[in-house]
A = this chain, B = another copy of it.
């Protein structure tokens, strides 16, 4: 993600990121987004059976179909596995936030991320909400993106201002516990358009093509949430370009999550084509993207294609080994590693050199049909172990 990119501000949104005491060293840990007017909202949530309190709370609001005015997000504590008290705390966060603009608790959506199983320190949170309310500015997106980080090393924020006159601005966090099973992190995308009713289905498709296509470690979190809020302040019901722009915002943020994956040194696109069914291609892409052996080979820049073929073999798909063709590739070059059930004739040094790049792809043709699937993933490094061996301490 290009850090020098200009962050455009959608009309009618006020944003802040503050430190309230959940993270150490005065780091921002509470983000607040408030709209001047009620927002249409669409969302996607983790499919984990163990859902954090704010996920359950937000789902109920989205299911009711009502509009919202604000989103409050804390990092450093997931408010997951916190029992009835966790639900009480979520509602209290919403109520306190609503008091800023004289609304009710259900005008506010709540997102939390961080350690599981610890009750929220509500005194700090409430005081932080008050502080954030006093610091709201239209340009606060970068502060908000910083405030929602956990093990992320970079804030993730991206925006598009269209010639039609609307703006889409998104923030996201995510680094570990990333798996592609319906919304894989926290992301909030705000826009000033008026959403058409069809956007609900289209947004789901866009998330399927972006946030659901990323793997860091294959662990699906208890808190994953993507929210799209639209306040209509630009007065525009946009053309089809809006979908394209929304996809670009979501893809850019999703890709940034993988690039900033815990300990990640490389972004690898896994492309499976020639499948009889898309579901087959998906299973194989996920097997390769989550295999520790494949991911350590990415890390070591080792064109040990046997591991990729091996992972394809145990993905639960009825593949024909004789038909498989495997390449690694970047923008300039495509190196065939495997064909006719054995190694292709390739230059090992060229393979190592390509895999040492920051961004490249694996492409596997099953030669069994015309369906395709792809995923972004990263490598598995020493640093991942360092981060996760002692995450809480």
Interface residues of A (CB under 8 A from B): 47-51, 78, 80-86, 115-118, 176-177, 179, 181, 217-222, 291-293, 296-297, 299-300, 302, 304-307, 309-314, 317-319, 321, 338, 340-343, 380-382, 384-386, 388-393
Contacts and interface: CB of A to CB of B under 8 A. Distances in A.
A217 B290 CA distance: 10
Contacts of A390: 300, 302
Copy total for this chain: 2
Contacts of A314: 47-50, 179, 181, 219-220
Given A292-B384, A382-B386, A49 B318 contact: yes
A310 B48 contact: yes
A121 to B, nearest CB: 15
Contact of A391 (B117, B179, B304): B304
12 contacts: A49-B317, A50-B314, A50-B321, A81-B341, A83-B340, A116-B309, A117-B309, A117-B342, A220-B313, A300-B389, A381-B385, A382-B386
Contacts of A50: 309-310, 312-314, 319, 321
A95 B47 CA distance: 55
A307 B116 contact: yes
A388 B300 contact: yes
Contacts of A318: 49
A325 B115 CA distance: 19
A356 to B, nearest CB: 12
A306 B382 contact: no
A104 to B, nearest CB: 27
Contact of A342 (B83, B220, B343): B83
A357 B121 CA distance: 33
B292 A219 contact: yes
A86 to B, nearest CB: 7
A286 to B, nearest CB: 12
A180 to B, nearest CB: 12
A310 B388 contact: no
A320 to B, nearest CB: 8
Contact of A299 (B117, B222, B341, B389): B389
A219 B342 contact: no
A257 to B, nearest CB: 16
Contacts of A309: 50, 81, 116-117
Contacts of A291: 217-219
Nearest to A321: B50
A305 B82 CA distance: 12
Contact of A86 (B217, B307, B342): B342
Nearest to A342: B83
A369 to B, nearest CB: 16
B49 A385 contact: no
Nearest to A179: B314
Contacts of A341: 81-84
Given A82-B341, A83-B341, 17 more contacts: A47-B314, A49-B317, A50-B314, A115-B306, A220-B314, A221-B310, A222-B313, A292-B380, A292-B388, A296-B384, A296-B388, A296-B389, A302-B390, A302-B391, A304-B392, A384-B385, A385-B385
